[in-house]
Chains A and B, each alone.
Chain A
Amino acid sequence: MSIAEIGNVAYLPPVSAQAFEARAQAGAPADFSSWLTAEVDKVNGQLLAADKELRELALGGTQNLHQVMIALEEAKLSLQLMVQIRNRALEAYQDILRMQI
């Protein structure tokens, strides 16, 4: 995102109660696995975007240095969280397997 796009606050997520409800109803996932798949795709998109910004930095210098750094850091956090979710899900699965019937 270059400096030219500061003009719009619209990309900030809505904070008011009605806006939250509207968002929750609009995008309510059916179950955990479909939610997780969607999130994995989003994290992947975020990683790709961060990668693209890094390439832009390498090629010609970016118009927005802090944006590149923040994108990299956020992508890292999202990936870490996703890995943790994967670990917990695996642990839960293994716990269930070990259960004596």
Chain B
Amino acid sequence: MDYFAAFAISGSGMATEKLRLDVTAVNIANANSSRGQDGALFRPLRVVSSMRRDIRFETALRAYGVALGGVQVDEIRPTDAPPRALYEPGHPDADARGYVTLPGVNPVAEMVNLIVATRSYQANVMAMNAAKFMAQRALEIGGTR
């Protein structure tokens, strides 16, 4: 049992999904921010991830011609979701016609992301526990001393 590699893979998965969760929380929190940083409106963020090629897995699996590894976060990218307009003439940030421009955060999409990220996080925890369990069983070869 190559537990180092197993923990590295599952650990990277957990870290990435946790980041996804945090980014989703940021999106939801800023759904009604009419004023963004430096005057620009808040744009919903997305975590862009790709497969991480670790040097440890390269040596083990070059023979099979398949790259194996965990996951890494490339960037947290603002999306170009169209902003929504809310009619509220009394709002401090209302324009001449009385419309407030708010970030194009889709609450349904963000909730789905939340659930997916949580489930994936749990799956990674399950994989790490399985690796730990197998390694512990391997230590018991030879019986209890």
A–B touching in complex (CB under 8 Å): yes
Contact of B135 among A7, A63, A65, A72 (CB under 8 A): A65
Contact of A72 among B1, B4, B63, B142 (CB under 8 A): B142
B142 touching A4, Cβ below 8 Å: no
A-B contact pairs, 5 of them (CB 8 A): A3-B2, A4-B60, A63-B2, A65-B135, A66-B141
Most buried by B among A2, A66, A70, A76: A66
CA of A76 to CA of B139, assembled, Å: 15
Main secondary structure of the interface of A (DSSP, over half): helix
Which residues of B does A touch, CB under 8 Å?
1-5, 59-64, 135, 138-139, 141-142
Give every chain A residue within 8 A of B4 (Cβ-Cβ).
Answer: 61, 63
How many residue pairs link A and B with beta carbons under 8 A? The number is 40
Most buried by A among B59, B63, B139, B141: B141
Main secondary structure of the interface of B (DSSP, over half): helix
Give every chain A residue within 8 A of B63 (Cβ-Cβ).
Answer: 4, 7
Give every chain A residue within 8 A of B141 (Cβ-Cβ).
Answer: 66, 69-70, 72-73
Most buried by A among B135, B139, B142: B142
B60 touching A2, Cβ below 8 Å: yes
A64 CB-CB contact with B under 8 Å: yes
CA of A63 to CA of B8, assembled, Å: 13
Which residue of chain B has the shortest Cβ distance to A64 in the bound complex?
A: B2
CA of A62 to CA of B142, assembled, Å: 19
A69 touching B138, Cβ below 8 Å: yes
B138 to chain A: closest CB distance in Å? 4
Give every chain B residue within 8 A of A73 (Cβ-Cβ).
Answer: 141-142
A84 to chain B: closest CB distance in Å? 18
Which residue of chain A has the shortest Cβ distance to B1 in the bound complex?
A: A65
